[in-house]
Amino acid sequence: MPTDLQPMSITAADGATLAAFTRAATGDAPTVVLAHGWCLSHRAWLPVIERLPAAYGIVAYDQRGHGDSELGHGFLRGTGHETLRQLGSDLEFVISEAVPSGDLILGGHSMGGMTLLAYAGGGGSLGRVRRVALVATAAGGLRGLGLPAEKQVWTALAHVPFRMGPAARADRMVPMLFAPGAPQSAIDATLADIRRTRTGVMAGFIKAITEHDEYAVLPDFADIPTTVLVGSKDKLTPPVLAKRIVDKLPSASLVELDGKGHMLTYEAPDEVVAALTS
C-alpha cells in the first residue's frame, strides 16, 4: 500500500464496518473515490493510485464482504439482501464520511462501476462530481448477450466457487479476467484477493450482478465528463456492454483498449488514470 494512504473505518446504514484507505487532497484538488470489483479489494486500484497526481485526494475502500470490510448481518446467499443498490448506499456513506466537501471524481471497476450507477440510481448526489470513469463494467444486461462465450463465463463464475477450494477456484477464474500476456505480479495480486473472498460472498453478489439494471439513470450523467473503458478481450463485461452504456449516454467517451482483458486497473493503469484525470 502507498505509504501516504491512511486507514479509516466507515459505518454503513446497517451498521457494517467498511474499510477505507484515504489521502487528503491538497488545496482545491479533487478527491478520487474508487470502487473495486467482485471478489477483489481496494488493492486492485493500487497501480492506478500510484500514478495519480500527488495533489489529488484518494478514497479507496473495500466493498462489503470484501477485503477488510464486514459483510453485514443477513448478507448470506439466498437471503435476497445482496443488491447493487445496497453497495450504492454504502458508497453514499463512504462519500459523506470520508469526503464531506470538495470536488469528486468517481471511478468504478467492474462491480464497482455498477456500484457508481446504483449510487446515482438510488438517489446519491452527483452535484460535486466533476468526472466519472466506468472501467470494464456494465449498466445491465449481463444475461442474454447472445455471445458464444456466455455459457462458459457464467459456468466459471456461478458454479466453480461452490465445488472447488479457494485456490482452485481462483486459478480457474484467471483466464476469464486477464488477457494473455498480463504481468504475473498482477495475476498474483488478483489471486490473493479472490482466495480471500468467502464462497457465500461470491455467490450472494453473483445474483446481484446478474440482476443489475441502471440504464435509466445514465442520462443523469449527461453533464459530467464520463469515460467508459473496455478491453477488446474482456470476457466478463465485453465491448458490447460498454457500447450500450454510450448508446444511452452519448456524451460519454468510449475507449476500447486493444488486446486487454477485464482487469484494466492492472493491465492498463495509465489509460485508467487518463480517464480519471483528463
Write out pLDDT tens, residues 185-234.
999 999 999 989 887 788 788 878 888 999 999 999 999 999 999 999 99
Reply yes or no on whether the pLDDT at 87 is more than 60.
yes
Gap between the Cα atoms of 95 and 91, Å rounded: 6
The verdict on domain 6-277 having CATH code 3.40.50.1820 is yes
pLDDT (0 to 100) of residue 77 = 44
What residues does 23 pair with on adjacent strands?
Answer: 58
The answer on pLDDT for 176 being more than 90 is no
Q: Which residue has the cell 468526472?
A: 131
pTM comes to: 0.92
- The whole-number pLDDT of residue 148 equals 44
Sign of CA pseudo-dihedral 8, 60, 209, 198: negative
Closest CA to 145 of 243, 60, 9, 267: 243
Tell me: pLDDT of 141 over 70: yes
- The count of residues in the chain is 278
Q: Which of 22-31, 124-133, 137-146 has the lowest mean pLDDT?
A: 137-146
* CA–CA dist 68, 251 (Å, integer): 36
**Percent of the chain at pLDDT exceeding 90:** 73
4's grid cell: 501516504
Residue 12 is placed in which grid cell?
454503513
Which triple of cell numbers denotes residue 195? 482466495
Side chain identity at 17, as an amino acid letter? T
- Which residues face 257 on adjacent strands? 231
Percent share of the chain, pLDDT over 70? 86
- Cα-based torsion angle of the residue sequence 143, 149, 152, 156 in order, rounded to the nearest 10 degrees: -70
Read off the C-alpha cell for 92.
453514499
**pLDDT confidence band for 83 (50 / 70 / 90):** confident
Best CA proximity match to 251, nearest among 220, 230, 275: 220
Is 18 in contact with 64 (CB distance < 8 Å)? yes
Collapsing DSSP states into helix, strand and coil, what is residue 104? strand
Question: From CA 45, how far away is CA 53, in angstroms rounded?
Answer: 14
pLDDT for 145 equals: 57
Average pLDDT over the chain, rounded to an integer? 89
Torsion from C-alpha of 129, 22, 177, 152, nearest 10 degrees: -70
* SS3 of residue 195 by DSSP: helix
